[in-house]
A and B are shown apart, each in its own frame.
Chain A
Amino acid sequence: NAGVTQTPKFRILKIGQSMTLQCTQDMNHNYMYWYRQDPGMGLKLIYYSVGAGITDKGEVPNGYNVSRSTTEDFPLRLELAAPSQTSVYFCASSYSAGHQHFGDGTRLSIL
């Protein structure tokens, strides 16, 4: 049982490039989330999904897009990368309220 798997683990982008952060879960959870964690800071919710085909904005959605075509996958797309998007990105999933399962994160630097 792999849980929540994120790829890649590390990435360096140039300003203006785009990329997709992959997230997949094998627990058949309906709820999935994307967070960013800036150095020394807490978590900020970027986007979330309550099921396949349904997504919604969190606190800090600008500059990002998501899709949820299957229960398992919830990719996060960065368009026109900016230095302010340098962060650690975490994907999480949950079956019910409270207990979220996290991936190990993608460490993204934009130079």
Chain B
Amino acid sequence: GDSVTQMEGPVTLSEEAFLTINCTYTATGYPSLFWYVQYPGEGLQLLLKATKADDKGSNKGFEATYRKETTSFHLEKGSVQVSDSAVYFCALPNSGGSNYKLTFGKGTLLTVNP
């Protein structure tokens, strides 16, 4: 079945460090891929998405490229800020007729220190 494997956390970085959070997936075909972010005390919100192979999603300085060869969608940011401290979830829609449901990774907690 469809699955998402996400880098285990927690990840602790200093401000202005480079961030990579790995995400690989198993799915039928070439589904859209998503990164969601959850700030402390809040619900999840969509951070970025890519709808086809080789697409790059970007938002708030974060980027992720859809790599079908390696079935990966790694999240990157060149210079993190304290305000980026949050939990990050990789997600993909279920295959077949229930693609409105999402399969989420387990989440990666990022803490950025000043």
A interface residues, Cβ below 8 angstroms from B = 4, 31, 33, 41-43, 45, 48, 50, 58, 90, 92, 94, 96-105
Docked pose: A34 CA to B106 CA in angstroms: 17
Q: Which residues of A contact B100 (CB under 8 A)?
A: 31, 50, 94, 96-97
The reply on B82 being an interface residue by CB < 8 A is: no
Residues of chain B from 43 to 97 with CB closer than 8 A to chain A in the complex: 43-46, 49, 89, 91, 93
Contact across chains for A97 and B99 when beta carbons are under 8 A apart: yes
Size range of the chain B interface in the assembly: 20 to 34
Q: Which residues of A contact B102 (CB under 8 A)?
A: 98, 100
- Are B32 and A42 touching (Cβ within 8 A)? no
Q: How far is the CB of B105 from chain A (nearest CB, A)?
A: 7
In whole angstroms, how far apart are the Cα atoms of A99 and B34 in the complex? 8
Closest to A41 in B: B106
B49 contacts A98, C-beta separation under 8 Å: yes
Closest to A90 in B: B43
- In whole Å, how far is B38's beta carbon from the nearest beta carbon of chain A? 8
Contacts of A99 in B (CB 8 A): 34, 46, 49
Establish whether residues A42 and B93, one from each chain, have CB atoms under 8 Å apart when the complex forms: no
Chain A positions within 8 Å of B89 at CB level:
42-43
Given contacts A42-B104, A42-B106, A42-B107, A97 and B43 within 8 Å (CB-CB): no
One of B43, B91, B93, B99 near A105 (C-beta < 8 A):
B43
Interface string of B14-55 (1 = CB under 8 A from A): 000000000000000000101000000111111001000000
* Cα separation A42 to B38 with both chains bound (whole Å): 11
What are 11 pairs between A and B in contact, CB < 8 Å?
Answer: A41-B107, A42-B89, A42-B105, A97-B32, A97-B99, A98-B91, A98-B99, A98-B102, A99-B49, A100-B102, A102-B45
Contact A103 B106 (CB under 8 A): no
A contact residues around B91 at 8 Å (CB)? 98
| Min CB gap B106→A, angstroms | 4
